[in-house]
Amino acid sequence: MSGDENIVELHRRYVMPTYSPDLVLVRGKGVRVWDQEGREYLDFLAGIGVLNVGHCHPRVVAAVGNQAAKLMHVSNLYYNENQPRLARELVERSLGGKCFFCNSGAEANEALIKLARLWGKDRGGRYRIVTMRNSFHGRTLATLTATGQEKVQKGFEPLPDGFTYADFNDLESVRSAIDDRTAAVLVESVQGEGGVVPATPEFMAGLRRVCDQEGVLLFCDEVQSGMGRTGKWFGYQHYDCIPDAIALAKALGGGFPMGAIVTSSALADVFQPGNHASTFGGTPLACAAGLAVIGVIEDEGLLDNARRMGTKFRAGLEEIASRHEFVTGIRGLGLMLAMVFDRPAKDVEIIMRRKGLLALATGKTALRFLPPLVVDEDDVARALEIIADSCREFAQIEKRVS
């Protein structure tokens, strides 16, 4: 191995082409990352919704480093000191029941699906899960089937049985998708990959009502909208709706991979020994990272900062939108925001990247922003400058083309 190897060539030769990456990023600090040539970028994607406390937060770095030197892994056949402590922090901020730890968002949703089936078994054999069109729940076979997007499912048929789809923000559609075999409804409080679409207050309140009437569980996938992203700990907390369980991952470990589900007390003991497991779920190392993340969000007032910076950033985006006909609106919640175009947003994403801002085209026409919750007014102002510049440049290109 030598230091001057061409990373892009190496990647193309040895890594499966499931992504088409283009920058070689080598260092990060707070809201910023640097590429191999030393160019600086404002990371308004926070990795991919992962670095809510920013890149390499000193408290997360120290927690991981210290724990790594002490005890990285023990089997879940033994207790470890950090797992129940992190579980308490999550449970007390949400649903009051218990946690199960895993390693990713897909695995967290997979755990919810298994929990629903086990719960439904003794209730007349309920097993079906109703999910929303345009949702995203992961890439395992069960979670890609839960994901209401054909492009994610294509080629992997036959898909597992037991999933039905309804329209997001359409309560009647959900009601008619529920039958006497339905165990649960799974919904994102803010659809992320689907284009940053928040649930309406009527939809979330109505879902709780309908699920209670039908004797069906209600699950929220908070993998992207959780851990302070929307200005509250979890997205559902903006609504008059308390789900029976939530799925967490992305920002949970501050960059260290981990996932979890948290349930209400009624569902806390559905899983019994032997029902579910994970080799790496809730290791002392992962949970040390998770505890540090919660400490940082709490001590640095990041929920409040997410709300304040979210309002500021949104106002700036609205202002830019008003200057360009091709921007049709701004939507989102807290620091989970999207600029919506009347055409594909990919070219604008590329222009912004060239100017030093990382964002991501999502859905068909949305440009998604998920800045770290540690952004300050200067970061937001600088990002808005780049976005305004990029939209102006895009307008000129489009004019030339037409």
Ligand X SMILES: *Cc1c(COP(=O)(O)O)cnc(C)c1O
The site for ligand X (CB under 6 A) is made up of 104-106, 109, 136-138, 188, 192-193, 221, 223-224, 249-250
Following DSSP, what letter does each residue of 127-159 receive, concatenated? -EEEEEBT----SSHHHHHHSB-HHHHTTSPSP
CB of 144 to ligand X, least distance (A): 10
Residue 213 sits at the vertex; the CA angle it makes with 209 and 215, to the nearest 5 degrees, is 115
Residue nearest to ligand X (CB): 105
Catalytic residue among 221, 234, 271, 341: 221
User: Is 180 among the residues known to form the active site?
Assistant: no
Q: Is 154 one of the annotated active-site residues of the chain? A: no
Q: Shortest distance, CB of residue 267 to ligand X, whole angstroms?
A: 19
Taking the complex as a whole, the smallest distance from the CB of residue 226 to ligand X amounts, in Å, to 9
User: Per the residue annotation, which of 43, 250, 341, 394 is the catalytic one?
Assistant: 250
- Phi and psi of 25, rounded to 5°? -90, 135
> Which residue stretches of 73-104 are H helix?
83-92
* Residue 81 beta carbon to ligand X: minimum distance, rounded to whole angstroms: 25
Residue of 44, 100, 101, 136 marked active site: 136
Residue closest to 297 by CA, chosen among 114, 44, 102, 60: 60
Q: Quickly tell me which residue has 């699906």 as its tokens.
A: 113
Looking at the Cβ atoms of 244 and 327, the one nearer to ligand X is: 244
Q: Look up 250 and say whether it is catalytic.
A: yes
What is the token pair recorded at 148? 């209401």
The rounded distance, in Å, linking the Cα atoms of 325 and 312 is 22
Q: Indicate the residue among 115 and 223 with the shorter CB distance to ligand X.
A: 223
Q: Which is nearer to ligand X, 187 or 384 (CB)?
A: 187
Smallest distance, ligand X to C-beta of residue 250, A: 6
Burial of 396 (0-12, 13-18, 19+ CB in 10 A): exposed
Comparing CB distances to ligand X, the nearer of 327 and 358 is 358
Is cis: bond before 158, omega within 30 of 0? yes
Residue 220's Cβ-count burial label (10 Å; 0-12, 13-18, 19+) is buried
What burial class does residue 272 get, using C-beta atoms within 10 Å of its C-beta: 0-12 exposed, 13-18 middle, 19+ buried? exposed
Cβ proximity to ligand X: between 256 and 394 the closer is 256
Residues found in the chain: 402
**Closer by beta carbon to ligand X, 364 or else 382:** 364
CB of 181 to ligand X, least distance (A): 24
As annotated, the active-site residues are 136, 221, 250
